[in-house]
Structure 1
Amino acid sequence: MNQKNLEYLKDQIKYTGFGEGLEEVLKQKIAKGQPEFKIPHLTHFGSNKVDSTLHFSKSKKTDMYFFNSYQVSVQKENNPDETMKQTFYINKGNNITLKEAYNLMEGRSVNKELTNKEGQLYNSWLQMDFKQSDDNGNFKIQQYHQNYGYDLEATLAKHPIKELENETYKSNLVDSLKKGNLQSATFQKEGLEQKQYIEANPRFKTINIYDSNMQRVDNRQSKTEKQSEAQSRSVKQEHKGQEQPIADEAQDIPKAKKKRKRPTIT
């Protein structure tokens, strides 16, 4: 058995988010010398069941094995009859971890350092497009490169978030959001503190904010502002028939998500 190859695969599995519990079964599979093999993995994120299958193949020229990909299957507690599947491929660079894969499948965005075909590193936000899929049934992953102009820290600074006042808490908050987590944050409003949940939204260069019932706070406020603005326009047009209406500044804000159960924050 190629010991260096075994150690490399063990580290690769570990740092892709599958822990150290698969070492023995990995060793047994390699010892059999088969051209391909799979290793199952089961975990839960919150109340959702996450089944994974890790795929390995042997080199046709040497005794080395490669960790090629893993397929993730998510089954939600509140909808056990529906299962979502997606395959994530392993590259030489910074791979998508299991938790990041889960976050992508939940519709959130993940920030990664990736490697292009020329071997050059670049930074990008990733978000799954549930309207487009390939021939294998995998949803397309959209990329928002650094030139797209999404600055997470600058976006957070627009909101009265208490954690931003402490550099350590701020760093932890930013890191968690970049991993695609739905993160709790303390909002300070009119002298009161209110716990809410936020997630990065690179596509619209903002953050999504949810209350304790997982209702979109910003969208609900935006709707109220739209109604108020519409009423204001109506009054203006009655008094100034030639005045042109103001462009709707909220037209690019995405629609509110359906009500979800309060998540477990990790």
Structure 2
Amino acid sequence: MQEKNLNYLKDQVKYTGFGDGLENALRENMQSGKTAFELQHQTKFGNDQAEATLHFRKSSETDKYFFNKYDLAVKPEGEKDALKQTFHIGFDNNITLKEGYNLLSGRSVQKEMSKLVETSDAGSKRLEPKGEKYTAWLKMDLTDKDQNDNFKIRQYHQNYGFDLKATLDKYPIKELGNAEDKTRLIESLQKGNRQAVTFVIDGKEEKRFIEASPQFKAINQYDSAMKRTGFSSSQPKSQKHAEQQTATEKISAPTSKKSEKQSKESDTTRKPARARKNRRSVT
């Protein structure tokens, strides 16, 4: 077993959101020399249960192992069935565990993406995210699945017109008055989190929770009991309209001319994302 390969995978697993707890199991499975293996990870987000199965495969040409994908099952509190999705690990566009949970919870995540380009490896052609980078909001359509039984993910490109910072400035949120608090709030919402904030209405403070809603170019609001709420009568009518407006336009990610065909190749031929040792762990 190559120690360099192990360290690489340890970092990759950690920065995808699975922490350090899988290191021993990862080492043991790599030492066995088996062709492929799986690791299990369980955690909770609030009262929601999340279970993940991480898939690793050995190269057919070398003794290196690759982290190809993980299957995530999220069981919301009080629900009988779990929602499931497979997230592939490649060169780019990787979804962390927390981001995967947020997507399966119906929230939107902002990611830096890469245009898909057609590549050839050992005579087989497939689409790989290796092209020019762009920023887009991702939202899972929990009513529509693809041929692989995964929920389809819609993209709302930057040209769609949703500006999170400008949208937040329309709301009487106390945290926006402090530069550091504002930055932390924006970064949290971009990861798909439902974030606690303080609304100041008619001089009174009120705790609410908000999440980004790029599809409707607004934010969703919840009271302290996590019940959906809206604007108070003291807030502008234009903001009330923003909450109610319907946006049906689907913005697709730009692709190169060579990437118009759908790839049918297996994920097992993918190479893993480059681990960034200086990158902060996603929470």
Which TM bucket (shorter chain)?
A: 0.7 to 0.9
- Match in the other structure for 1:191: 203
CA distance in 2, matches of 1:77, 1:129: 20
CA distance in 2, matches of 1:248, 1:186: 20
Corresponding residue pairs, total: 230
State yes or no: 1:216 paired with 2:254. Answer: no
More displaced 10-residue stretch of structure 1: 111-120 or 52-61: 111-120
CA distance in 2, matches of 1:253, 1:147: 14
Task: Specify every segment of 5 or more residues in structure 2 that has no aligned partner in the other structure, as ranges.
Answer: 118-129, 249-282
State yes or no: 1:124 paired with 2:136. Answer: yes
Q: Runs (4+) of structure 1 moved beyond 3 Å?
A: 247-251
CA distance in 1, matches of 2:78, 2:138: 26
- Match in the other structure for 2:30: 30
1:22 shift after superposition: 0.5
CA displacement 1:95-134 (0-9 Å, x = unmatched)? 2110110000000000111222242221110000012101
Give the conservation status (yes or no) of the 8 Å contact 2:141–2:153. Answer: yes
More helix per residue:
1
CA displacement 1:233-262 (0-9 Å, x = unmatched)? xxxxxxxxxxxxxx99944289xxxxxxxx
TM (norm. structure 2) is 0.77
Letter of the aligned partner of 2:86 in structure 1?
T
Give the conservation status (yes or no) of the 8 Å contact 2:199–2:208. Answer: yes
CA distance in 1, matches of 2:247, 2:225: 20
- Match in the other structure for 1:108: 107
Letter of the aligned partner of 2:161 in structure 1?
G
Identity of aligned residues (%): 52
Give the conservation status (yes or no) of the 8 Å contact 2:216–2:243. Answer: no
- Match in the other structure for 1:179: 191
Task: Specify every segment of 5 or more residues in structure 1 that has no aligned partner in the other structure, as ranges.
Answer: 226-246, 255-265
- Match in the other structure for 1:88: 87
1:94 shift after superposition: 4.5
CA distance in 1, matches of 2:93, 2:13: 13
CA distance in 1, matches of 2:211, 2:59: 41
- Match in the other structure for 1:242: none
TM (norm. structure 1) is 0.81
Q: 1:251 to 1:109 in 2, by over 3 A?
A: closer
CA distance in 2, matches of 1:66, 1:78: 36
**Any residues of structure 2 matched to 1:1-266 within 5 Å, and which?**
1-79=1-79, 81-118=80-117, 119=130, 120-218=132-230, 250-252=244-246
1:33 shift after superposition: 1.0
CA distance in 1, matches of 2:136, 2:242: 29
Rg larger in structure: 1
CA distance in 1, matches of 2:242, 2:115: 38
1:5 shift after superposition: 1.3
